[in-house]
Amino acid sequence: MAATLAIGHEEFDSRGERRDARRKALWLALALAAAIVYPFLDKALGIDRLASWIPIFVFIILAMGLNIVVGYAGLLDLGYVAFFVIGAYANAFLTSPNSGLVQNGLVPEFLQSFWPAMAVAWLVSAIFGVLLGAPTLRLRGDYLAIVTLGFGEIVPNFFTNAERVTGGPSGISTIARPPTIPLPGDNEIAFATTDQRSWYWLILAVAVLTVFLVTRLYDSRLGRSWQAIREDEIAAASMGINLVKTKLLAFALGASFSGFAGSLYAGYITVVYPDQFQFSVSVILLAMVILGGLGNVYGVILGGLLIQSFDRILAEELNGPLHWLGDRTGIAFLQEHDVTQDRLLIFGLALVLIMLLRPGGLLPNARRRAELTETVPDPLAAPAPDQPVDTRGSDMATAGERA
C-alpha cells in the first residue's frame, strides 16, 4: 500500500513538473513573439523607441554573462565592464581602417569582416577571463571583489592612455558592420545605422541564443559544479570537483559573453572610446542580476528589462510630467530637473528595497527560493501538546546538584 502511494505521489509530481514546464514554454513563446513583432508596432503606433531597445538587449546579454560568474559560480566580479571594452576594441582593431593593426597590414583580410572579428573578440575576451581568474583562484568574497574592481579600472584606463595604439580618449571609428544579406526579389537586409529593424532582430537573435546556451550550461555537469562551488568550496573539492578548472571556466565563459556583446555593440555604433565603459556599467549590470534573481536567467532578463527600460526610456519620458508640474507650481527645481541624472540613486534605492522585501530577487531560482523560505526550528520554542518532553538532561542536572 505504501509503495502504491509513493508511486502515485511521484507521478503527481512529474505531472506537475510537466505542467509547469508547459506553462513556462508558453510564456516564453508569447514573450518572444511580442519581441519579434515589436518593430512593426513601434512604427504603426508612432512609439519611435526602437533605437532604445537595441542597447537594452545588449545589456541583457551582458547581464546573462555576469550571471554565470556571480549567480552560478558565486564569484563576485565588480570589473565585468573590462571584458565589454576588450570585446569592443578587439572588433575595432580588426575591422577599422583607422586601426594601426590594419594600417600596418598585420590583420589578414578575412579577419577584417564583422563576423570573423566577432569570433576573435569572443575568444580574446575568454582568454582575458582566464588571465583574470588564474591569479584570483584562492580569493573569495571581498578580496575577489577588490581584485576584479581593480581590473575593471585598469583596462579602460589603459585604452585611454595608450593613445598611439587605441586612439586615446577619441577612440577608434569606422568599425565594420555586418555585410548586407541579399534576399529574393531585389530585397536585402542591410545593417546601416539607420536600419534599426535589422539591428534589433540581429541582437534579439543573439540574446535568444545566449538564453539557450546559458540555460544549457546551468543544467549541465559544469553548471552543477558551479553551484556546488557556490554553496561550499570545501565540500565540492571533497566530492572530486576540480576547483581550478571549474572557476577558470566560469571566468572564461562569463567574459566571452561580455566580449561577444561588446563586439556586437561596437559594430552597431561604429565607434568605441573609453568613456563608454565606466565602472558604473559594472554596477548597473550587477544591479540587474541582483534585482532579477541570482542564478535565474529569466530573472536576470526581467531585472535587465526593468532597469534598462527606466534608464533609457522611462526616465526621459518622466521629464515631461515633471516639468509640467514645475510650471504649474512655480517650483524652479521641478522645471529644470532631469530625471536621467537620478538613475544611479534610483537603482540604489531599488536594490535596498529588494534586499529588505525580497532578498532572493524578483525571480529567484528554485534552490535560492528554498533556502530563503526554509524554516529553522527554534530550540527554545515550547513543544507541541502531543509531543513528549525530554527531561533526561534536567534529571541528570538535578542528580548532580544533589550529589
Cell of 114: 564583422
153, part of any domain: yes
296, part of any domain: no
For 234-280, what is each residue's pLDDT tens digit? 899 998 899 989 999 999 999 999 999 999 999 999 999 998 898 88
240, part of any domain: yes
Q: Please state, in angstroms and rounded to a whole number, the distance separating the CA atoms of residues 138 and 353.
A: 33
**What is the number of other CB atoms lying within 10 angstroms of the CB of residue 395?**
10
266, part of any domain: yes
Whole domain around residue 198: which residue ranges? 45-278
Signed CA dihedral, 396, 397, 402, 403: sign only = positive
Q: What is the mean pLDDT of residues 177-193?
A: 83
From the list 301, 263, 296, the residue with the least C-alpha distance to 285 is: 301
117, part of any domain: yes
56, part of any domain: yes
Q: What is the mean pLDDT of residues 158-180?
A: 90
For 28-86, what is each residue's pLDDT tens digit? 889 999 999 999 999 888 888 898 999 999 999 999 999 999 999 988 889 999 999 99
- pTM for the model: 0.86
In the chain, the number of structural domains is: 1
Q: Which helix (H) or strand (E) holds 182?
A: strand 181-183
Q: What is the pLDDT of residue 354?
A: 86
286, part of any domain: no
225, part of any domain: yes
* Range scoring the smallest mean pLDDT among 122-136, 210-224, 327-341: 327-341
Residue with cell 535568444: 208
